[in-house]
Amino acid sequence: MNGDSRSFGRPGGRSGGGAGAKAGAGGKDGGGKRYFFRRRKVCKFCADKIDYVDYKDIKLISQFVPERGKILPRRMFGTCAEHQRKLTEAVNRARHIALLPYAAD
Ligand SMILES: [Zn+2]
């Protein structure tokens, strides 16, 4: 039974170790527009000067809540914390009165 069933260490023979897969890149990204412009991204609500996220404004909030009803992470839109919070509140409120679906899980 408990003999030497320990030969389960390495499955393959060719395990390089993982490091060194991408060697040779002699610089930053070698060509390619890899620009992340998240710093410049302004919260939509701030940009539109929306102080209060109206939960009845389905058109507005549904932009942030796809059909599944999951609120998108604010990273995706650059919504500021304050407005994200208001948005969440509005979404919850909208759900409450069945303007929006709950997450369909
Ligand atoms: Zn904002």
Q: For the chain, which domains are there? A: 44-96 (4.10.640.10)
Compute the distance from residue 76 Cα to the ligand 1 centre, in Å. Answer: 13
- Interval 65-81 mean pLDDT: 73
**pTM as predicted:** 0.53
- What distance in angstroms lies between residue 69's CA and the mean position of ligand 1's atoms? 21
CA of 104 to the centre of ligand 1 (A): 28
* DSSP notation for the chain: --SS----S-S-S----STTSS----SSSSSS------SS---HHHHTT--S--TT-HHHHTTTS-TT-PPPPHHHHT--HHHHHHHHHHHHHHHHTTSSPPP--
C-alpha of residue 17 to centroid of ligand 1, in Å = 45
Distance 61 CA to ligand 1 centre (A): 13
pLDDT value, residue 54: 92
Q: How confident is the model at residue 24 (pLDDT cuts 50, 70, 90)?
A: very low
